[in-house]
A and B are shown apart, each in its own frame.
Chain A
Amino acid sequence: MELVERLTPSMRRVARMFVSTDAVADEVVQEAWVGVLRGIDAFERRSSLRTWIFRILVNTAKTRGQREARSIPFATLAGDDLDEPTWDPTAFDTDGSWSSLPFDWRGLPEDRLTGKETLAVIGRAIEDLPPMQAEVIRMRDVLGWSSEEVRNALALTDTNQRVLLHRARAKVRAAVEAHLRSVSA
């Protein structure tokens, strides 16, 4: 029961990437749990239990999405900016070194840096990410899963997992910087 409570919020978000409504996503999650209970004897400890559960969920969600004739291109889920640099190219000289040093917010007072407001900024920045970027950073940095678990759970390649995470972190870092810049001005 505890596992159900712990995994369900992430499972709903992941299911929702592949199907059209919250209600259908809920059905997918329930269906996936039924599949988990049915198949639990076949679970081999080659992967973690939560990874295995997510694989069942993702397969269930994809099947349901296909039945809904709702086939979503990977680029829509992952974001269409994966090939672009994460940093403003004008910050660099032609040789790729800093043309002027970036705003350095590390020395700001602790309470301002890590206060509630900053955390709220991070939460909003994550919500604004393309769905797959948002889910990867939630799993890696909020829930503390390993890169291998996330890659397996979401059926991503090693490279895609890292690109999605890096892009997500870069945007969250930039949001924190913009916030700190505005409150320090």
Chain B
Amino acid sequence: MTTQIACRDLLELITGYLDGALPADVHAAIEEHVAGCDGCTAVLEEFRITIAMTGTLTEEQITPAQRDTMLGAFRDWAG
């Protein structure tokens, strides 16, 4: 008896799957499901693309503008 996963449930497991954090049977079931499912293939791939794009952001792009009063203070202090 192999594990079966519905599309709806698979979507909640994508991050665990990408981290390699799922039990082996669930991991295998996801691979088998994705191999035969266009919708889940697309979404899994879109997660990968989104993660890769997120990885190109810089610290400045994710930091609300407040900056540098404290870093300035630190520079003075640390020399």
Q: Which residues of A contact B (CB under 8 A)?
A: 1, 4-6, 8-9, 12-13, 22, 26, 29-30, 33, 85-87, 89, 91-92, 95-98, 101-102, 104-106, 113-114, 118-120, 122-123, 126-127, 137-138, 141-144, 147, 158, 162, 165-166, 169-170, 172-173, 176-177
By beta carbon, the residue of chain A nearest B55 is A141
Partner of B15, one of A9, A114, A138, A169: A169
Q: Assess whether A169 is in contact with B47, with CB atoms less than 8 Å apart.
A: yes
Q: Which residues of B contact A (CB under 8 A)?
A: 6-9, 11-12, 14-16, 19, 21, 37-40, 42-43, 45-47, 49-51, 53-57, 59, 61-64, 66, 69-71, 73-75, 78
Q: Assess whether A166 is in contact with B8, with CB atoms less than 8 Å apart.
A: no
Q: Output the least CB separation between A159 and chain B (Å).
A: 9
Q: Output the least CB separation between B64 and chain A (Å).
A: 7
Q: Output the least CB separation between B2 and chain A (Å).
A: 17
By beta carbon, the residue of chain B nearest A104 is B42
By beta carbon, the residue of chain A nearest B16 is A162
Interface of chain A, main secondary structure: helix
By beta carbon, the residue of chain B nearest A87 is B11
Partner of B62, one of A12, A98, A101, A123: A123
Partner of A177, one of B11, B46, B61: B46
Interface of chain B, main secondary structure: helix
- List chain B residues, Cβ under 8 A from A96: 6-9
Q: Output the least CB separation between A138 and chain B (Å).
A: 5
- List chain B residues, Cβ under 8 A from A12: 66, 70
* Given A113-B49, A122-B50, A86:B11 Cβ within 8 A: yes
Give the distance in Å from the alpha carbon of A162 to the alpha carbon of B19 in the complex.
9
Q: Assess whether A138 is in contact with B62, with CB atoms less than 8 Å apart.
A: yes
Query: Which 5 pairs across A and B sit closest by C-beta, in order of nearness?
Result: A96-B6, A166-B15, A96-B8, A98-B39, A141-B54
By beta carbon, the residue of chain B nearest A100 is B39
Give the distance in Å from the alpha carbon of A92 to the alpha carbon of B8 in the complex.
7
Partner of B70, one of A29, A86, A91, A169: A29
Interface centre among B15, B51, B71 (most CB of A within 10 A): B15
Give the distance in Å from the alpha carbon of A122 to the alpha carbon of B9 in the complex.
25
Q: Assess whether A162 is in contact with B15, with CB atoms less than 8 Å apart.
A: yes
Q: Output the least CB separation between B9 and chain A (Å).
A: 6
Q: Assess whether B8 is in contact with A122, with CB atoms less than 8 Å apart.
A: no
Q: Output the least CB separation between A154 and chain B (Å).
A: 16
